[in-house]
Structure formats: C-alpha cells, structure tokens
Amino acid sequence: MMDPFVTFCLRMGDNALILAQRTGEWCGHAPALEEDIAFANMGLDLIGQTQLWLKLGGEAEGKGRSADDLAFLRTERQFTNCQLVEQPNVDFAHALMRQYLFDAWHLPMLDGLTQSSDERVRAVSAKVIKEVRYHIDRSRDLVIGLGDGTDESRARMQGALDELWPFTADLLASDEIDDDLTARGVIPDPAPVIEAFNAETAATFAAATLTVPHTGLTRTGGRNGIHTEHMGFILAEMQYLQRTYPGVSW
C-alpha cells in the first residue's frame, strides 16, 4: 500500500494534470480570443501546480521517480484524480462548469493546506492558492453571466450542471488516507472544505438562476484509480511521445 502522504500528493497533482489536459484542448478553439488566452493561461498554471505536487510526491516516495515519470509512466488505474476533471469538453458551458466546480473545492482545500503541519505542503499551497483565487473569480463570473443570460446560454449552463454535478461526490470524497493525514494535521478536516464548497456553489447558482439537480446520483472512484471511459483517451494522447520513445529527453 502506498504511503498516505504520497497518495495525497498524487491526488492533488493528478487533479491539476488531467484538468490541464482538458483545459489545453481549448487552445485555438475557444469562442473568443480572450477566452482562448484565458484557458491557455489556466492550463499553464495547472501544469505548474502538477509539477510541484508530483515532485513532492516523488521525493516523499523515495524511489527516484521524477514528476515527469509520474505523469507519463503510470497506467490509468494508477492515476488518482477525481472523475470530474476528466469529463470531456462537450461545449463551452461544460468546460466552464467543470472548471468552476473544481475551483469551488480547490480554493478552500488550498486555504486549509496553507495551515498544514507539513512545511512542504504549506509552501506549495501558499504558491498555488494565488493562481486559484484568479481561477475561481473568472469561472464564477462566467457561470453567473451565462446562467443569468439568454435562454440559450442558461439552458446550456443548466445542462452542464445537470451532467457534472454527480461528479462532485468524487471531488468531495474522503477515505482512511484522508483520515490519517487529517489526524496528523497534514490536510484540513474535510467538513469545513465541504461547507465552503456548498456555500460558494449555492450563492453562485442562485445568482446564475441555475438549479442544482437533486437526483441522488453520484459518481465516485477516481481517487482510487477507477475512472470513466474518457481517461484512457486522455492518457493515450498525453503519454504518446514518452511511450513511443522511452527515455526521450529534450
């Protein structure tokens, strides 16, 4: 069984890495130049965050694996990102909603991690949280603007929310690994993070005139290596060069 601290670092890094891949798919395809640039910049932010978390995880593991090794040489079942971030770019509404739901969790999680008992975690979180504050300001404003916009934009945002909301269960999940790290003060108690997520999304969706679906449907498993059908396609593209030319260096 992998060390809980290493698993935590991989979960944080994998979330950022897979969302960065999805975000990067908008480069050259966003509906407006400003959004094209914004998505590209957020993708770069997320790649930088990936490097920090995976580097920390590799060092803590002590097996000589670099951040690149962890990103490009693991199989699908070895990735620990939540299922939300691997969901496809159906349209711009889905991309925005996926980003917002992740940001609404990411910010309070990082806020708690800046108080971690582990100095390394505090340092990474203090650096990353500055970027995430921008991310959520942008995604929140767009969700509200499009949700409370035209009939067409509202319908698309509501459709995206209906499809993606069940995956927030994976984003907010916790297990014995989290319990261990919480007891040691490495990560925050999940209750305040969930409370902050609920408060943030409730206020935003009210302003956006969007309704959270209450179907009881939940989608979980990504944090433990169980992914949706989309994950394999992401890795096939992302890992192609390293898999085709093992050990290649720039």
Residue 140 located in a structural domain = yes
**pLDDT for the residue numbered 158:** 98
Closest CA to 23 of 101, 80, 85, 74: 85
Could you say which DSSP state residue 29 is in?
T
Residue 157's identity, in one-letter code, is M
Query: Which parts of the chain register pLDDT below 50?
Result: none
Structural domain count, the chain: 1
Nearest-10 crossing angle of helices 4-24, 33-61: 160
What contacts 212, CB < 8 A, 6 or more positions away? Answer: 161, 165, 201, 202, 205
pLDDT tens readout for residues 34-78: 776 777 788 899 999 999 999 999 999 999 999 999 999 999 999
pLDDT at residue 250, rounded to an integer: 60
- CATH number of the domain where residue 107 is located: 1.20.1260.10
Q: Which residues are within 8 A (CB) of 45 and not within 5 positions of it... i.e. 6 or more apart?
A: 131, 135
Question: For residue 217, what pLDDT is reported?
Answer: 80
Q: Residue 29: what pLDDT?
A: 65
- Confirm whether 250 is domain-assigned: no
Total residues found in the chain within this entry: 250
User: What does the DSSP assignment read for 155-178?
Assistant: HHHHHHHHHHGGGHHHHT---HHH
Residue 187: per-residue pLDDT: 98
Q: Specify if 249 maps to a domain.
A: no
Give residue 157's domain range. 4-244
Instruction: For 55-103, give the DSSP string.
Output: HHHHHHHTS---HHHHHHS--GGG----GGGG---SSHHHHHHHHHHHH
Q: How far apart are CA 71 and CA 193, in angstroms?
A: 27
Distance CA 191, CA 46 (A): 25
Q: Is residue 159 part of a domain?
A: yes
